[in-house]
Structure 1
């Protein structure tokens, strides 16, 4: 199983804020800069699917921090399990002001397939009534 956990960084400089990339803002424009997965179509699709399962919108303080491939990627496409929780800004220390402190009891996981991601991307490419920034 392959896994990426954005909460652990070997070098503090690796944990710096993400640079602005306006081409990706349409995926999840209101989430914190630390929300790396939401800036990818797989994470945005997972967020949309989780909101559908829960029946309500996720807080903008919620973002995914761990991604895992479920299965053997050598045997073909495999689903991806994303885990996240709500965060609050740190009030002291070197990461003061950044959304890095997890809130207890808010952790959620969701599995997205390649089909889920393709459906999300197809829905994003449809013309909509409002202009994207």
Structure 2
């Protein structure tokens, strides 16, 4: 209600509208990154030509599963702002990607170094996006008070 009572000065919109627009831009950038990450997780194992053995297949399956979860979060982000649950899902997915090579036993296999490196890098990217998204959501909630 306060935004409607603020006078417009020299054709400028009220500050709450500028904050809302900035939030929309941040959401669009984060969603674009999420779509790119999800697509890479889904098709990256074939692009990197993982071997057909058991450890590489395990890496491929878990990357595709995390990629589908990230894709679902990104699609939901098109219709409404991401919330705490989305940020938690992204953080858990990122943490899993970082720990999966060690938990599933393909971290020290010479045939799966590409899978290990891909998982760790994509996990770090997902954790970073989750932290940024949570920070932006906290700032947005604080601005609305």
TM-score bucket of the superposed structures, by smaller chain: under 0.3
Please say which structure displays the higher CA radius of gyration.
2
Task: Specify which structure has the higher proportion of helix.
Answer: 2
Q: Normalising to structure 1: TM-score of the pair?
A: 0.24
Task: Specify which structure has the higher proportion of strand.
Answer: 1
Q: Normalising to structure 2: TM-score of the pair?
A: 0.23
